[in-house]
Amino acid sequence: MASEPQGGLTEYIQHHLHHNTLVLDDGSNPFMRLHLDSLVVAFALGVLFCLWFWLKARRATAGVPSKGQAFVEMIVEFVDTQVKDTFHGDRRTITPLALSIFMWVTFMNTMDLLPLDAPGWSVKAVAGAEAAHHTFFRWVPTADLNTTVGLSVAVFFIIIAHGMKAKGGFGFGKELLTAPFHAESLGVKLVLMPFNFLLNLVEYLSKPVSLAMRLFGNMYGGELVFMLIAGLFASWISFVPGVLFNTAWGIFHILIILLQAFIFMMLTIVYIATAREHH
């Protein structure tokens, strides 16, 4: 959160890669640590998204819509069209899920466009430079692997639930053991069951891994580029080139922000549709 590089570019980047962490044990277990900055920002953005759409829904009119209502309706229609083209079934629960994923991930990704040192400037103005140097806060929840893994694990359980709902518990379990390799003979079926189960297990587990790593990798890389630009152009002499580089990368990064949210949403829809299909 330092407002300017202290100790060189490497220390500056390492400082900005630290999370505001709450340790729940003696520090020996990495799974007993909470990244408070990711949790707080993600929760606040989720509330902001829900409040925005709730207010627009309450004020919606049947006549000529306002610009805000038209914009929200355009987003909803866009997401619903993607769901309708991909998921051929009852989409009353799929469209709200896809909309929530798309908007929440977009909101979290967009935090990457805010000034990198804004939290540091705030702390420095209130408590001084030393306090700012020892305070950590990262803006972008999706640049934290814990956030993307949490989202993808939630999607994974939703996929499993849809598969069991469409095929029943027994049918879902049977398909894990009898597909994709089929056989008429009982003996051959028993031999193929471990291979079928292993292939299905790899297929299912690869889905949350790919979702989490794709989103995290793109957002972490984008955040790192902003850190490099901020560190390289930190002096007043190079202030103008730094602004130009940051602006150029920010404009390009908008495409990445929206594209990654769209990909996460589309893969979720595709995975749910696949889970509901019978072999």
pLDDT band of residue 2 (cuts 50, 70, 90) is very low
- Of the listed 138, 218, 246, 276, which one is catalytic? 218
- Of the listed 29, 206, 210, 235, which one is catalytic? 210
Residue pLDDT, tens place only, 184-236: 777 888 888 899 999 999 999 999 999 999 999 999 998 888 888 777 765 54
What is the pLDDT at residue 1? 39
Residue pLDDT, tens place only, 118-158: 777 777 777 776 666 667 888 899 999 999 999 999 999 99
Average pLDDT over residues 229-249: 67
Residue 214 annotated to the active site = yes
Residue pLDDT, tens place only, 28-83: 777 778 899 999 999 999 999 999 999 999 988 888 888 999 999 999 999 999 99
pLDDT over 70 at 98, yes or no: yes
What is the pLDDT at residue 225? 85
Residue pLDDT, tens place only, 162-186: 999 999 999 999 888 888 887 777 7
pLDDT band of residue 117 (cuts 50, 70, 90) is confident
pLDDT over 60 at 4, yes or no: no
Residue 218 annotated to the active site = yes
What is the pLDDT at residue 238? 53
What is the pLDDT at residue 235? 53
- Of the listed 214, 235, 238, 276, which one is catalytic? 214
The long-range contacts involving 31-40, CB below 8 angstroms and separated by at least 24 positions, are 35/138, 35/144, 35/146, 35/147, 37/136, 37/137, 37/138, 37/139, 38/138, 38/141, 38/144, 38/146, 38/147, 39/141
CA dist list (Å): 59 to 54, 70, 75, 77: 9, 12, 17, 18
What is the pLDDT at residue 78? 96
pLDDT band of residue 159 (cuts 50, 70, 90) is very high
Burial class (CB in 10 A: 0-12, 13-18, 19+), 98: buried
What is the pLDDT at residue 3? 42
What is the pLDDT at residue 241? 65
